[in-house]
């Protein structure tokens, strides 16, 4: 979830967050930095502190709290209705499979992922938009840079 002033929320299972490599390094996220003969070793904080690098965004957190309070009640009902429609329709379409990281019975939001056998993501996006007026994002968004193909310089 995001709000003004570059604020947002990272949510996840405690065990995954506890063991995950911090996205950003910096003050607050690292417990100790040791410089030795073999290089620099970083010892990360435990718990959620390991994901809180840098100075806290106090203005952003206040904005996020205000947005959450203002939109919570109407959004919950709308989100549940969207989720019901989102999950019901693809189940009737051949070759469409809904994806779920945590399992089909886990709580979800209406933003979902799916694959459609025999369709490329770009063609499916155009079909949803042109034929049904549905905005769909396709391709890879914010991929892990370690998995991105390396470009080779031309000779």
Instruction: Answer left, alpha or beta for residue 101, where phi above 0 means left and psi between -120 and 50 means alpha.
Output: alpha
Mean pLDDT of 6-21: 77
Burial of 20 (0-12, 13-18, 19+ CB in 10 A): middle
Residue 106 has pLDDT above 60, yes or no: yes
For every residue of 69-118, DSSP letters joined together read: HHHHHHHHHHHHHHHHHHHHTGGGSTTEEEE-SS-TTS---S--EEEETT
* 0.85 surpassed by pTM: no
Enumerate helices (H) and strands (E) in the chain, giving the number of each.
Answer: 3, 6
Q: Which two tokens stand for residue 111?
A: 């933003």
- What is the torsional sign of CA 64, 66, 68, 70? negative
Residue 23 has pLDDT above 70, yes or no: yes
Residue 64 has pLDDT above 60, yes or no: yes
Mean pLDDT of 98-115: 78
């Amino acid at each position: 979830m995001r709000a003004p002033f570059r604020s947002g929320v990272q949510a996840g299972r405690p065990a995954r967050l506890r063991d995950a490599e911090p996205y950003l390094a910096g003050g607050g996220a690292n417990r100790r930095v040791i410089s030795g003969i073999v290089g620099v070793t970083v010892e990360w904080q435990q718990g959620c502190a390991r994901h809180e690098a840098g100075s806290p965004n106090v203005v952003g957190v206040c904005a996020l709290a205000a947005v959450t309070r203002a939109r919570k009640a109407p959004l919950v009902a709308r989100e549940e209705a969207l989720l019901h429609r989102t999950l019901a329709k693809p189940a009737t379409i051949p070759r469409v499979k809904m994806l779920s990281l945590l399992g089909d019975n886990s709580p979800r939001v209406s933003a979902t992922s799916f694959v459609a056998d025999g369709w490329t993501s770009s063609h499916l996006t155009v079909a949803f938009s042109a034929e049904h007026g549905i905005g769909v994002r396709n391709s890879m968004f914010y991929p892990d840079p370690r998995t991105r193909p390396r470009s080779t310089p031309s000779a």
